[in-house]
Structures are given as C-alpha cells and as structure tokens.
Structure 1
C-alpha cells in the first residue's frame, strides 16, 4: 500500500510538482486540517463522508467523484464506518496543463469543491482498476492510468459546464456548530478582503468575534491560526495568478495582499521551495513580464 498523503506531518505547503499518486484506504476522520499541492480526486465506494473544506462543509456521496485543490486546508469531519475511499493526487502542474475551461479551472483554484453532476456507474470499476495497477507498480500501466485520469478530469469539467450549477448546502457535521459558523464567517471575510490590509484584530472586529475566540475557533476547526490561513489563502490566489495570467509578479504580490514583492518572494520561496519566476516557468508562463530576485 502506498503511503497516504493524509497522515503526513503538517508541512506548511508542499512543493509544486509532487508525484502523481493513486491510493485506496478506509476513510477516517482527521484530527486537524491538512493540505498538499495536488488537485485531489476522491471516489467514496460506499458509506458517507463530510469534508470541512475552505471553512465550509462539503458532503461526499458514495459513487460520485469529487475534485478540489488540496492546497486549501481540508479535513474529514464525519465518516461512516468501513467507508472505502480511492484518492487520486494529480500534481498541480499536470492539472494546469489540461485543456479545460478556464473559468472552471479558476473556480477550483479559488476554492470550489467540484462534485460530479453526472456520476457514471463505470467509475467504481475504473478507479478500482487504476488503484490496482498503481499498486502493482508496472511503469507502463501506471503511465496509462495517469493518462486516463487526466481524460476523466476533462470529462468531469465538461459535464460540470453542461449542467446547471445548484448551490449545495451540506448537513451539519458532528462538531461544535457555533465554531463552524464562526470559521465560515472568518473564511468568507478573508476571501473577500485578502487583497487589503488584514489582521486578526481587524477580522475579529468585522465578524463581531473576540480575537482570542476567532483564533481558538480557527485552530479547533481548521487546525491553523487565522494568520496562517490568511497566508495560505493569499499564496493560493498568487499561484493561480502566476499560472493563469501574464500579470507581473509585483502586481500579483500587491493584488494578493502581500504588501511588497520582497515579502511575497520570501514567503513563496519558503513555502514552495522555488521563486515565483521559476514556478511560472514550470507551468508554461515563462514569457510573462516578471520581476524576480534570482
């Protein structure tokens, strides 16, 4: 069995370009939120499971593919017993290289939790085969599985585009509902105001929550402080801009709320292991008008 990404140490932000991986295991609740720099595809074979994703609760139904950018903190908070789960980890660079609708790609990178609007009965058999072939370790079969996964993602995006979007409000998870509501309020504020000057005190005032309560809520629900979540959210937005636009790095740094190019450069390199310019080159935007510290 391949070692699961779910139970790695709490690394701040994984390096883009991590390996493609398929695994299967019995789903379980997670003590705290975690994150890694893949686009994650899940298929719950049976049972039920709820994620807390980006401060909101999202239900995973058996037999329905879900897809999300795992760099956004997420945590399983409600799982039925003996719920087999297949997880596919698609490197961010591979996802960005797919010829899919730009709007959907941006939505995913900005926190959309994509659920298959047209579940296919063949997914269970197909994903089981991919997992089996991955575990067997034959390079040719692994490459074929990876190619087929990319095609399945393209179909999922196309089906999503052709199906009217219905707002999904998942059921309440069995954790402190007041804490979840506070976390949702804070994450919505961060999403709306991350480009400006923000602090724990300002966020708490805007949401009508005491600063210590706000931080305690975030740690209880997401496993990180408000400030750490804000940094990661800004980095997520910056990565999307670097990958999807030709905007100068300096403009991206300010637009995403970093205040200066040097702070953005330092944080980006510390969290990803590479500079913004190197990252952009790896995802095919090497000709963009960048200013970097190399």
Structure 2
C-alpha cells in the first residue's frame, strides 16, 4: 500500500480526471477527497469492497482510507472531477466541525446518489471550481473557496436528511457524533476526554467502543490523526519551524511529534517538507 503526499497550493484542489481500466495498488493520503463522475461510470475501490458510481453521483473518500478509482469493466474511459482539500480549510469556520463530520464517520454511506438535490448542486459547484481554475478570472481563488464551502454545506445537509430518515435512529449514534464533532472543533487544542465522554451520555467503556465503531479508530488515535493532518498542512504550506508546528498542533515535544509523524507517514517531518511528493512507500 502506498502513501501519496498531495501538495495543495491553496489548501484545496479541483481537477478533471480521466480513468482507464488499469489495476493499481490502493493508496492513502491525508487530504479529504470528493469524486464526481461526469461521463461513464467509475468503480471506487476500498479495502472493504467496491462502490459503483454513475455520472452525477458524489463519492467521499475518508482521510487515510486505502482506495483507488477504476472504470467499470467494458466501459469507455471515464471522466470525473476530483476535489481534494485539507481539513484546515473549514476547521476554523463557524460550524466548520459539522461540515467535516461526514469524512470521519464509518456509519454513513460514502456515496451520495445522483438523483438527490444535494448531489446535483455539488456537481454544479464542482464544475464551477474547475472552470474557475481554467479561466482564472479576477477573484477566481475567492470564487473557488466559496464554491468549496457551499459543497461542504450540501454534504452536511444530505447526511442530516439521511440520518433523519433512518428507522430506529437511536440516541447512541447522535450522542457519539457530538463527541466526534467536539474533537474536530478542538482541532490542535487539547481536547478534554472527560467532556467528550460527557457529551456522549455513555459510560467510559461504552463510549470507547461506540466511538471506534463510528470512526474506525480509538479517540486517542482520532485526535492524533487530526493533529497530524494540521501539521502536514503547515509543513506543506509554511516555512514555520518544525518545533513551532509541533507545539501549535498539540504535540507535547518535537521528539514526540517526530516519532508519531514518522510512525504514520514513514518519514520524519523534515524529510516530508524537503522531499515534497517523493515520499517513500508505506506498507
């Protein structure tokens, strides 16, 4: 399995892609990713199975989730829009933690069907992102940022509507979601685990079990991943000293930051910054 380092010049990127039917090893990255097929169908491949997405569908890849896209067998090469962005883009906005929630949950479907009004609006906005990149009219970067935020709002509205229609939608999931949202909102600040447990309304043991069921990782690992995402964004986008980044992103010391970063990315923060996209394979 490969870790792919994606450099996002403005914190996000929108590209029109063309896929042929080629096998490829699954890869991971720390960016949040949205794919929207435009022409012919694509197969979104995950460790847990495949999803077939038709034109107009919207598909979310969670950060660090091994994945790859193929065209469905027998189809002509497929065309789609790939949108990548750093959580730092939305994390500091009012309500930004709510907008990021769908990318960290394992209990909601990653595919938004083309016939939903939210998917249709997201498709329109994605085309705007690509067109602004091509034409670069005055204030095009601001227009792109505005379109990205509108896409995140549409995602949030879709999943709110989805949950409201689920039969037997109990309070356990909703309360754990509040805990996840709290941790996302904390960002690089120290999260109070007792407060997260209180928000869930669960006992400690049940909280840890339900949290992992919802996100796929423990609360501690979830916080580490969030901080690493913010740190990798700073390493790509700034020349700030690594010691300062470690401190600002909630790591107690630069040595602890280096160890956690290397354990996850396979290289040190200094190597990550120096080598750009030439990141070694991570098994």
Q: Give the equivalent residue in structure 2 for 1:16.
A: 5
Q: Is 1:277 aligned to 2:262, yes or no?
A: no
184, 189, 194: which is aligned to 1:191? Answer: 184
Q: Following TM superposition, by how much is the alpha carbon of 1:274 offset from its aligned partner in structure 2, in angstroms?
A: 1.3
Q: Does 1:71 align with 2:63?
A: yes
Q: Kindly indicate whether the alpha-carbon contact (under 8 Å) linking 1:37 and 1:71 is maintained by their aligned counterparts in 2.
A: yes
CA contact (8 A) 1:36 1:71 kept: yes
Q: Residue 227 of structure 1: CA displacement? A: 1.3
TM-score (norm 1): 0.50
Contact 1:218-1:224 within 8 A present in 2 as well:
yes
**Residues 1-294 of structure 1 correspond to what in structure 2 (within 5 A)?**
14-16=3-5, 36-38=29-31, 40-43=33-36, 63=56, 70-71=62-63, 106-107=89-90, 119-120=123-124, 158-161=143-146, 165=150, 167-168=153-154, 169-170=157-158, 171-173=161-163, 174=166, 176-198=169-191, 200-205=193-198, 207-283=200-276
Alpha-carbon separation, structure 1, partners of 2:149 and 2:6 = 33
Deviations 1:157-176 (A, max 9, x none): 84553698484422134485
State the 1:194 CA deviation.
Answer: 4.3
Q: What is the TM-score when the length of structure 2 is the normalising length? A: 0.52
Assess if the C-alpha contact under 8 Å between 1:15 and 1:272 holds in 2.
no
Cα distance in 2 for residues equivalent to 1:245 and 1:119: 32
RMSD between aligned residues: 5.2
CA distance 1:88–1:179, shift in 2 (3 Å): farther
Q: Give the unaligned 5+ runs of structure 2.
A: 8-14, 22-26, 40-52, 68-77, 104-118, 278-283
1:268–1:118 Cα change, 3 Å? closer
- 2:110 aligns with none
Q: Secondary structure at the match of 1:40?
A: strand
Contact map agreement 2:175 2:201 (CA 8 A) in 1: no
Q: Deviations over 1:118-149 (max 9, x none)?
A: 745997xxxxxxxxxxxxxxxxxxxxxxxx99
Q: Residues 210 and 283 from structure 1, CA distance in 2 versus in 1: closer, same or farther, beyond 3 angstroms?
A: same
CA, structure 1 residues 205+117, in 2 after alignment: closer, same or farther (shift >3 Å)?
Answer: same
* Distance in 2, Cα, partners of 1:121 & 1:243: 26
Structure 1: which 5+ runs fail to align? 1-7, 26-33, 47-59, 76-84, 97-103, 124-147, 285-294
Q: 2-side partners of 1:157 and 1:65: how far apart?
A: 23
Count of residues in Structure 1 that have an aligned counterpart in Structure 2: 207
